[in-house]
């Protein structure tokens, strides 16, 4: 089960350029795309996206050759359209001439079916969606971004230069996992109170993260402030080569980071399991209350440090094996802190929740320090005998974890 608090949700509003042109007979659509990124990853990526169309005019005509091709992308697109049309009780028709169109506007019930289909049956890229709606090949937009058929609409004036190929960029950093899917999408939305970060905040996220310079560089390769038909072919080829090279570099980083995270999360689960059989009594327990094992230094910080170590080792030695990373002394030392009894406090359930939310902490003397002035918790802490870690329980190791916790959480105590 993923930790919902680790994820940032961004929303990209989009529409087809044909929707801006009353004379256009091409398929039309508008809506939004939610995508989720785990902010704790050193090399974050789009783990899941959810698309919602609020308006669609579907072209019932399909490129004639799509009916005839035996394999490849066009066959895949034809079968995808067939599946979608079957769900909508519509029929694809061969396009006799290149410029022939037969638009069909979906009603609300059909829109609901279309949205469900795209979020459960569709397995291709965001950029390819326009091909499914149109029934022909999507136009290339890398050389000339103005050729893009779908563009992002919620960007400020400065970032608007990315509007045409931002979808292409999102495809390049998408690596879907099973962490997020349609079944738990609603849970993620509840966690975010049905709010979202806009696309300017997404670009700001890339700008402000020094590790993600390669991402911003890749995004910049997709833009052209001006387009000149006589553009130097050498410059174009160089830009394309650089884009493909940067894309491959990022994909490898994402894959190795994803593997490391999967390995780290399994190791963390094993370390957590070790705590089940350990008796930890730091505070006197009152019979009528339920107590839980609370980490002083949060597991999320330990997880982040393990990522950092794995990434550093891979950067130093590209041929290093996963087993060698897991046997690294520092890696093992940090991992073991999860099951270290000195990193654990026995806290009543409600107090544990407040501790995790950083409503309070402890200083190096073991004294309770309230951090959230608007929350009335003093009496509860005192009554439940959690206001002071006794000297006999305040080992040098436990003090170390307290200091690390306050440092990581920026607690000025």
Q: Are strands 61-63 and 93-95 parallel, antiparallel or unpaired?
A: parallel
More confident residue, 273 or 312: 273
User: Which backbone phi and psi does 109 adopt, to 5 degrees?
Assistant: -65, -45
pLDDT for 211 equals 77
CB 34 within 8 A of CB 50: yes
The tokens describing 94, both together, are 């061969």
Give CA angle at 356 (354, 357), nearest 5°: 60
- Per DSSP, the three-state class of 43 is coil
The verdict on pTM exceeding 0.75 is no
CB 410 within 8 A of CB 298: no
pLDDT for 379 equals 83
Q: Give me the chain's average pLDDT, please.
A: 88
103 to each of 28, 118, 137, 156, 187, how far by Cα in Å? 9, 19, 17, 32, 36
| Rounded percentage of the chain residues whose pLDDT exceeds 70 | 94
- Per DSSP, the three-state class of 50 is strand
Residue 231 has pLDDT above 60, yes or no: no
Which run of H or of E encompasses 340? Answer: none
More confident residue, 226 or 119: 119
pLDDT for 228 equals 60
Unique residue bearing structure tokens 């979020």: 119
- Per DSSP, the three-state class of 44 is coil
Q: Specify the DSSP class assigned to residue 316.
A: H
pLDDT for 221 equals 87
Residue 264 has pLDDT above 60, yes or no: yes
More confident residue, 239 or 271: 271
Distance CA 312, CA 61 (A): 53
SS3 per residue for 318-335 = CCCCHHHHHCCHHHHHHH
User: Which backbone phi and psi does 154 adopt, to 5 degrees?
Assistant: -105, 65
Residue 226 has pLDDT above 60, yes or no: no
> Among 8, 56, 68, 62, which Cα is nearest to 28's?
56
Using pLDDT thresholds of 50, 70 and 90, give the confidence band for residue 250.
Answer: confident
Lowest mean pLDDT among 156-160, 194-198, 241-245: 194-198
pLDDT for 272 equals 93
Q: If you count them, how many residues does the chain have? A: 413
Residue 227 has pLDDT above 60, yes or no: no
First vs last C-alpha separation in the chain: 34
CB 4 within 8 A of CB 187: yes
pLDDT tens-digit map of 159-208: 999 999 999 999 999 987 766 777 778 777 776 666 788 899 999 999 88
pLDDT for 70 equals 63
Q: How much is the average pLDDT of 369-373?
A: 89
Give CA angle at 227 (223, 230), nearest 5°: 130
- Per DSSP, the three-state class of 128 is coil
pLDDT tens-digit map of 302-322: 998 998 898 888 888 878 888
Give CA angle at 397 (375, 271), nearest 5°: 85
Distance CA 306, CA 139 (A): 43
Q: What is the dihedral of CA 285, 286, 291, 295, to 10 degrees?
A: -40
CB 8 within 8 A of CB 101: no
pLDDT tens-digit map of 67-96: 887 666 778 899 999 999 999 999 999 998
Q: Specify the DSSP class assigned to residue 191.
A: H
CB 304 within 8 A of CB 40: yes
pLDDT tens-digit map of 14-63: 999 999 998 899 999 999 999 988 887 878 889 889 999 999 999 999 99
CB 221 within 8 A of CB 246: yes
Distance CA 367, CA 100 (A): 77
Q: How many CB atoms lie within 10 A of CB 84?
A: 20
The tokens describing 105, both together, are 């506007």
Q: Are strands 291-295 and 344-348 parallel, antiparallel or unpaired?
A: antiparallel
Which run of H or of E encompasses 361? Answer: strand 360-362
pLDDT for 387 equals 92
- Per DSSP, the three-state class of 368 is strand
């Amino acid at each position: 089960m993923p930790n919902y608090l680790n994820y940032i949700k961004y929303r990209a509003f989009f529409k087809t350029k044909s929707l801006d042109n009353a004379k256009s007979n091409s398929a039309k659509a508008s809506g939004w795309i939610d995508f989720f990124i785990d902010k704790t990853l050193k090399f974050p990526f789009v783990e899941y996206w959810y698309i919602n169309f609020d308006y669609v005019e579907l072209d019932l005509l399909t490129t004639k050759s799509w009916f005839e091709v035996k394999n490849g992308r066009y066959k895949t697109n034809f079968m995808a359209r067939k599946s979608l049309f079957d769900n909508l009780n519509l029929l694809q028709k061969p396009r006799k001439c290149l410029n022939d169109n037969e638009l069909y506007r979906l009603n609300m019930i059909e829109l609901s079916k279309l949205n469900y289909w795209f979020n459960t049956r569709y397995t291709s890229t965001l950029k390819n969606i326009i091909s499914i709606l149109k029934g022909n090949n999507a136009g290339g937009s890398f050389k000339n971004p103005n050729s893009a058929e779908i563009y992002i609409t919620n960007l400020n004036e400065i970032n608007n230069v990315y509007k045409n190929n931002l979808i292409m960029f999102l495809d390049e950093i998408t690596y879907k996992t099973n962490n997020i899917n349609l079944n738990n999408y609603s849970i993620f939305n509840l966690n975010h109170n049905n709010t979202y970060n806009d696309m300017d905040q997404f670009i700001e996220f890339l700008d402000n993260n020094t590790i993600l310079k390669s991402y911003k560089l890749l995004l910049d390769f997709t833009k052209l402030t001006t387009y000149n038909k006589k553009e130097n072919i050498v410059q174009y080829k160089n830009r394309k080569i650089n884009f493909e090279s940067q894309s491959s570099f990022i994909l490898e980083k994402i894959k190795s980071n994803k593997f490391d995270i999967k390995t780290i999360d399994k190791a963390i689960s094993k370390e957590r399991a070790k705590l089940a059989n350990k008796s930890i009594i730091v505070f006197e327990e009152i019979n009528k209350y339920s107590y839980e094992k609370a980490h002083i230094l949060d597991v999320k910080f330990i997880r982040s440090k393990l990522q950092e170590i794995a990434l550093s080792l891979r950067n130093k030695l590209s041929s290093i094996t996963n087993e060698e990373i897991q046997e690294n002394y520092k890696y093992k030392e940090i991992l073991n802190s999860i099951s270290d009894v000195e990193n654990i406090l026995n806290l009543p359930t409600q107090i544990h929740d407040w501790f995790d939310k950083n409503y309070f902490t402890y200083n190096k003397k073991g004294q309770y320090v309230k951090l959230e002035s608007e929350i009335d918790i003093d009496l509860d802490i005192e009554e439940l005998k959690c206001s002071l870690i006794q000297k006999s329980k305040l080992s040098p190791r436990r003090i170390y974890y307290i200091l690390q916790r306050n440092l990581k959480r920026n607690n000025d105590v």
